[in-house]
Amino acid sequence: MEPDNYKNNEKEKQLAKRRDAIKKVIDWLIEEGHEPQEITHLRKDACYYGVVISDEAEKTDKHEKQRRKAFHIHFPIDRLDSLSISEIIILDLQSQKSYAALADKTNGILEQNRFYFDLELALLQMNVYFVINKNMRELQSLEISKVLFFDGLTKDTHFLILLIQFIIQLKFLG
């Protein structure tokens, strides 16, 4: 019976560690001025599933428009040692058109290829899982996610996805 007690103790410790990690992550978000919304009921595989939504004003030449950004936090039921952070980055219509229009320029296909492969390389170097939606000629959106293990969880790793988005936007504009 001792091995069963040991297994139960270890599992209880892991469950407690996961509860602490969930609380820690939520507290960090609140400290940074975000309001995580629990939507665990949407995922059967989640111990905790939340979304953080921010409306940011984006200035254009003539006016200011609101742009909604969101990322998800997923603590899976079957993994007691990790969480994942994910975001879908949808390029605005103007950026999509600009990217597609590159192909019409002299050497435009090469410029598209260079940007596309530079984007893939940057994401690979950041060690994130990603899916680039549509195709190389019509870039529309990116799905990016990162698994974080509790033993390496710090307040800074939390905002990795926001950092990735910022880098992608800078690269796309530059």
- Cα 143 to Cα 87: distance, rounded to the nearest angstrom: 6
Give me the number of domains the chain comprises: 1
- Cα 109 to Cα 42: distance, rounded to the nearest angstrom: 41
Q: Which two tokens stand for residue 6?
A: 């040991």
Range of the structural domain that residue 57 is part of? 2-173
**Tens of pLDDT, residue by residue, the chain (174 residues):** 466 777 788 888 888 888 988 898 888 888 878 888 999 999 999 999 999 887 664 545 555 555 567 788 999 999 888 888 888 888 888 888 888 888 888 888 888 888 888 888 888 888 888 888 877 788 888 888 888 888 877 776 655 555 555 555 545 544
pTM of this structure = 0.70
The distance of Cα 59 from the centroid of its chain, to the nearest Å, equals 24
The CATH number given to whatever domain includes residue 84 is: 3.30.1460.10
The residues, any chain, with a CB within 8 Å of residue 132's CB and separated by 6 or more, are 116, 119, 120, 139, 141, 142
